[in-house]
Structure 1
Amino acid sequence: MIRRTLFEWQPIAYGEDPATQIPVWAADRLAAVARKSPLGGENGGRILAHGRSALRAGQVVGVIAATNCTLEILPKIDVAAGGEAATQGQIRQKLVHLLAVAMDIDIDGGTLTTLGWQQDNLLEILIRLFSLKLIDALRQGMPRHYIEREEDMATLRGRLDVTRQFTRLAANPARLACRFDELSPDIAINRIMRAAVDRLRRISQSADNQRRLAELAFAYADITPVPRQALRWDAVRLDRTNARWKDLLALARLILGERFQTSSMGEQTGFSLLFEMNTLFEEYIGRMLRRALAGSGLSVHLQGGRLYCLEAADDGRRTFQTRPDILIKRGGEVVHIVDTKWKRIASRIDDPKQGVSQADVYQMMAYGQLYGCGALTLLYPHHDALRSLPGTLSRHRVGRTAQRLHLASVDIADHKSVTGQLRALLAAPADSIV
C-alpha cells in the first residue's frame, strides 16, 4: 500500500526507486482520480499536474485514494518547528479547525485530543471525528418522528381508509384498511447518517475506524438505505429536541460531497475528499469577521453585491456581474470590501509589488467604483517570511481618488487570536472608512 503526504505546490517523483519515488502505476492511478474531480480543471492539473517524472500538487488540498495508493495534500501553514510528523499533525489540526469554522461545526477539546493528528491522514481524522460524535449522539437515542402509514389489519388501528376498504378490500372484509401515525426512526436524518456510515465503511483503512463504523452500521441496520443523490436534506428539521445533531449533519454534508469538496466513488475512479483553499479561506475569514464585528452595528455578507459592470446603452442589458468575497455594511451602505487570496504574499525586498496580481488590483478598483466604497482590502494568509506582525502590510491611494487599498495578512495558525486580528485590522487608521 502506497501512502504519501505532501504540501500544496510540492512535487512527488515517480519511477523505479522505492526510496525516493512512488511507482509509476500509483502516479497514474492518482492522476486519474484527480482528472475525475470537478475541482481538477483541465486534465486534473489544479489538483495534480502529471509531468514526465513527477506529480505536482496544486492549490487543492485533501486526500486522493486509488487502488493500493493514497495521497494526502496539506496546505502550507506556518506552525511551530518540529519533526515531519509533528508538523504535519499540527497542520492537519489547523485545517480541521478551518473546516469546523467554515461549516459551523463545534468540536470540543476532549474530542480533539483523540483524533490522532500525527498518525492518520486527514480523511481518517474526519472519519474518526464523525464516528465518535455519532456514537455519542446515539447514546442519547436515535431521532424518531411520527410518519403516516397504511396497512391492512385484522383490527382497526387509527382511521379507516374508506376508499381502499371498499375497492381493494371489498372481497376481503376480514381485513381493515387502516391509516395511522407511527413513531419511527426511518426518517430523513437517519437515512443521511446511514448513507454517511455506509460510504465511510467502504473507504476507511483504519482498523479503529472500521470497528466503530461496524458498530454504527449495526445501529442503522433497520434504516432504509437511500442513494446519496436521493437523500432528502430538505426534509430534516432541527429543533430543541434534536439540536445536538446539527454538527453531525454538517459533517455528513462534508463526507457526502455537499460543500467545499468533491468526492467520487467507484472501482475505477477511487475516492477523493478535496477542498479548494481559496474558497475555504474566504468562508473562514467571513465567519470570523462576523464574530469579530458582533455588536458593532456592522454586518458581513459573503459573495454579496452582485452588481454589474456594464449596461448596454440601447437595451439596458447588463453584463459582467461582480461578486466581491466579503462586503461589510453599516445598514444598507457598503463601508468596506475585503477580497481574500490564498497565496503567499512576498516581502517588499523580494518584490516591489509583493506578489500582488495586477488583475486583483484592477478588480478591487472596479469594486470600489461600483459599490461606492473607499475602503478596500486584499487579505492574505500570514507567513514567517514577511518578517512583520499580522495586520496591514501596506496602504495605497487608488489613483487620485479617495479610495484606499490596503494589503493585509492574518495569522490563521494562531486561531485563538484571529478575531482580534481582524477587529484590529478594521478598526484602522484615519485613512480608513470603517
Structure 2
Amino acid sequence: MIQVREYATLHSDQTSFATLDSARVSSQTLAWLRELGQSQGSRFIRDSGAHSIQLGSYVGFLQSPTGEAIEILPKTHRQPPSATEAQRSRQLLQKMLAISLGITPRSAGPANLQQQPLPLHEWIFSQFLQALSRLLKRGLRSDYQRRAEESRFIRGRLNVARQAQQTPDRATWFHIEHDIFSPQIRENRLLKSALEITLKLCANADNWRLANSFNQQMAAVPANPVPLAELPKWRSDRLMQSYEAVKPWCRLILQNLNASFTQGEHRGIALLFPMERLFENYVAHSLQQTLPPGTRLHTQASSQYLLKHKPEGTETDGRWFQLRPDLLLESDTTGGGRPQVAVMDTKWKLLNGHASNSSAKYKLSQADLYQLFAYGNYYMDGRGHMALIFPAHGDFYQPLPRFSFSDSLHLWALPFNLHSQQLVAGDWQAYFPGLLHSPETETLLSQ
C-alpha cells in the first residue's frame, strides 16, 4: 500500500525517498494513472510530465492493473504530517465520507473490526459487512416470483399457447407458470454481488473471514450479472426498511469498487472523491446540528442568475449563468419582515493567516472573491455579511479581519475545525445572533 495525500507527486524514479508528498510507482501504474486522468475528465491529475504526475484535489483508493495500491488522504496541514497525523487524516476522511453519504458508521461490530486502522477501501468493506451482518440476523426478505417451466405435473397455471405447440412425443409434459416464495429478489442479488466483490478484493483477515461466512449463508441467492443497471430499481418502501442501513455501502461498492475483469485481466480500481464536495457536505451537516429555531440552511441555492438575455428572434428574456452558493442561511426577523439572509461558501484550501501583505493576500483566490461578490449582490441585494469557510489548521485558526466590497457588503474568512466540526465564527456571529449557540464555537481552535 502506497500512502500519499492530495497534490502529491507520483514518479518512477528508482532512487527517490518516499513521503506523503512524493512516492515512487511503477511505470505501468504511471501510464494507467495518465489514462485514468484522461477518462475521468476531471481535476484528478493536476500536472503530468514524462516520468511523473501530480495529483489534484481528489482522495480515495486506487489499484492499478498490476496490483499496486495507492491510498490518497486529505491534505490538512501545510507541513508533512507525522504518522499520528496521517492516521487522523484517514479517520477524518472516513468520517467525512460517511456524512456525505448520509450514513452513521459503526465504530465496532463483529470481531471488532476497528481494533486496527484500516485503509479506506477495507473500512468500506468492514462497514458493509457490519450492516449486512445485522440484516442477516434479522433475516433476508423473500417474495413471490413467477417461474415458467416444463413439468410432468400441473402446478399453478397452464400455459395454453405453449402447450398447444407441444410435440406428440412430449405430450405428457406440461408448460406451467407458478409462483414460488424465494429470497432471490433484486435487492438480495445486489447484496450478493457486492459481497462477491468484497470477498475478491479485501485483504484484511477479519473482513475476508466475515465475507466468506456471509457468502455461504447467501448460497441460495445468485449474484446479479448487471448490478449497475439494476441498482436504480432498488425498492425503498416500508417493507424494505431493514435494508436501508446496508444500501449505501452496497451502492458504494458496486459503483466504485466494482473492478473490471476481462478474461482474467484486472482492469484496475478507482475509488475517488472530490474534497471540495466532501468538505461542503461536512460543513453543511455540522452547521445543521447547531441551528436555532427559526433559522434555515439551504444547500446549493439556485434561484438567481448572473445575466438576462433576449436572443434575437425570441419573445422572452432568458436567464443565463446560474449562481449556486454552497450554503444560504436564512433567519426569521421579528415583525414579519423579510428574512435575514447570509451567503456562506466553502473552499477546500489551506489559507495562511500570517501572509497578510498585499502580494500574498492570505493565499486567497481572486476568482473566489469575484464569485462571492456576485452572490452578495444577487442573493443579499448588496447588503450584509457573507462568510467564506476554509479548513482550520496551524496557520489559520481564527477569523481574518473583515473584508469589504462596499460600505454595505462585507465578507469574512472563517476557519472550520475539521475534527470538532465547529465553525470559529468570531465577530461574524454578531450579525447572526444565536446561530451557533454552543459556547465552544467561540474558542480559537489552534489544534
State the match for 2:300 in structure 1. Answer: 303
Deviates more, 1:197-206 or 1:247-256: 197-206
SS of alignment partner, residue 413 of structure 2 = strand
Classify 1:431/1:186 alpha carbon distance in 2 versus 1 (closer, same or farther; 3 Å). Answer: closer
The answer on whether the counterparts of 1:308 and 1:322 sit within 8 Å (CA) in structure 2 is yes
Output the CA distance in 2 between the equivalents of 1:318 and 1:168.
63
The answer on whether the counterparts of 1:89 and 1:117 sit within 8 Å (CA) in structure 2 is no
Look up the equivalent residue of 2:198 and give its one-letter code.
L
Could you tell me the TM-score, scaled by structure 1's length? Answer: 0.81
Look up the equivalent residue of 1:395 and give its one-letter code.
R
SS of alignment partner, residue 69 of structure 2 = strand
Classify 1:319/1:102 alpha carbon distance in 2 versus 1 (closer, same or farther; 3 Å). Answer: same
1:370 equivalenced with 2:378 (yes/no): yes
Output the CA distance in 2 between the equivalents of 1:173 and 1:307.
72
Output the CA distance in 2 between the equivalents of 1:68 and 1:166.
54
- How much has 1:191 moved relative to structure 2? 2.1
1:359 equivalenced with 2:354 (yes/no): no
Q: Aligned residues, how many?
A: 410
State the match for 2:404 in structure 1. Answer: 397
Cα displacement string for residues 344-397 of structure 1 (whole angstroms, at most 9, x for unaligned residues): 0111435552222111111111112222353421111111122x44xx433233
Corresponding residue to 1:265 among 246, 260, 264: 260
Classify 1:165/1:203 alpha carbon distance in 2 versus 1 (closer, same or farther; 3 Å). Answer: closer
State the match for 1:414 in structure 2. Answer: 420
Look up the equivalent residue of 1:141 and give its one-letter code.
G
Classify 1:98/1:104 alpha carbon distance in 2 versus 1 (closer, same or farther; 3 Å). Answer: same
State the match for 1:99 in structure 2. Answer: 97
Output the CA distance in 2 between the equivalents of 1:350 and 1:396.
12
- How much has 1:162 moved relative to structure 2? 7.1
Structure 1 segment 213-362 matched on structure 2, within 5 A: 213-221=211-219, 222-239=221-238, 242-257=240-255, 265-266=260-261, 267=265, 269-293=267-291, 296-313=293-310, 315=314, 316-330=317-331, 335-352=341-358, 353-362=361-370
SS of alignment partner, residue 429 of structure 1 = helix
Corresponding residue to 2:139 among 134, 138, 141: 141
SS of alignment partner, residue 393 of structure 1 = coil
- How much has 1:219 moved relative to structure 2? 3.1
Output the CA distance in 2 between the equivalents of 1:350 and 1:82.
25
SS of alignment partner, residue 399 of structure 1 = coil
Look up the equivalent residue of 1:356 and give its one-letter code.
L
Cα displacement string for residues 300-329 of structure 1 (whole angstroms, at most 9, x for unaligned residues): 222222422111145412211222212223
Structure whose alpha-carbon radius of gyration is higher: 2
SS of alignment partner, residue 244 of structure 2 = helix
Corresponding residue to 1:28 among 30, 34, 39: 30
SS of alignment partner, residue 114 of structure 1 = helix
Look up the equivalent residue of 1:360 and give its one-letter code.
D
Output the CA distance in 1 between the equivalents of 2:326 and 2:73.
23
SS of alignment partner, residue 406 of structure 1 = strand
Look up the equivalent residue of 2:320 and give its one-letter code.
T
- How much has 1:23 moved relative to structure 2? 5.0
- How much has 1:234 moved relative to structure 2? 2.9
- How much has 1:202 moved relative to structure 2? 3.4
Classify 1:152/1:263 alpha carbon distance in 2 versus 1 (closer, same or farther; 3 Å). Answer: closer
- How much has 1:253 moved relative to structure 2? 2.0
State the match for 2:442 in structure 1. Answer: none
Q: Which runs of 5+ in 2 are unaligned?
A: 333-337, 436-447
The answer on whether the counterparts of 2:302 and 2:322 sit within 8 Å (CA) in structure 1 is no
Classify 1:177/1:13 alpha carbon distance in 2 versus 1 (closer, same or farther; 3 Å). Answer: closer
- How much has 1:334 moved relative to structure 2? 7.1
- How much has 1:188 moved relative to structure 2? 2.2
- How much has 1:31 moved relative to structure 2? 2.1
Look up the equivalent residue of 1:69 and give its one-letter code.
E
Classify 1:271/1:235 alpha carbon distance in 2 versus 1 (closer, same or farther; 3 Å). Answer: closer
SS of alignment partner, residue 368 of structure 1 = helix
Output the CA distance in 1 between the equivalents of 2:2 and 2:59.
13
Output the CA distance in 2 between the equivalents of 1:215 and 1:45.
39
The answer on whether the counterparts of 1:63 and 1:71 sit within 8 Å (CA) in structure 2 is yes
The answer on whether the counterparts of 1:262 and 1:275 sit within 8 Å (CA) in structure 2 is no
RMSD: 3.5
The answer on whether the counterparts of 2:5 and 2:74 sit within 8 Å (CA) in structure 1 is yes
Look up the equivalent residue of 1:231 and give its one-letter code.
E
The answer on whether the counterparts of 1:64 and 1:272 sit within 8 Å (CA) in structure 2 is yes
Classify 1:132/1:108 alpha carbon distance in 2 versus 1 (closer, same or farther; 3 Å). Answer: closer
Structure 1 segment 44-83 matched on structure 2, within 5 A: 45-46=45-46, 49-66=47-64, 67-77=66-76, 83=82
Deviates more, 1:87-96 or 1:266-275: 266-275
SS of alignment partner, residue 385 of structure 1 = coil
Output the CA distance in 2 between the equivalents of 1:304 and 1:161.
58
1:379 equivalenced with 2:379 (yes/no): no
Classify 1:246/1:426 alpha carbon distance in 2 versus 1 (closer, same or farther; 3 Å). Answer: farther
State the match for 2:201 in structure 1. Answer: 203
The answer on whether the counterparts of 2:10 and 2:25 sit within 8 Å (CA) in structure 1 is no
Deviates more, 1:102-111 or 1:216-225: 216-225
Output the CA distance in 2 between the equivalents of 1:205 and 1:40.
30
The answer on whether the counterparts of 2:158 and 2:175 sit within 8 Å (CA) in structure 1 is yes
Output the CA distance in 2 between the equivalents of 1:72 and 1:161.
58
- How much has 1:138 moved relative to structure 2? 1.3
SS of alignment partner, residue 115 of structure 1 = helix
Classify 1:129/1:236 alpha carbon distance in 2 versus 1 (closer, same or farther; 3 Å). Answer: same
Output the CA distance in 1 between the equivalents of 2:35 and 2:250.
22
Look up the equivalent residue of 2:129 and give its one-letter code.
S
Output the CA distance in 1 between the equivalents of 2:42 and 2:310.
39
Cα displacement string for residues 123-173 of structure 1 (whole angstroms, at most 9, x for unaligned residues): 122222222332332122112233344456566655x46765875679888
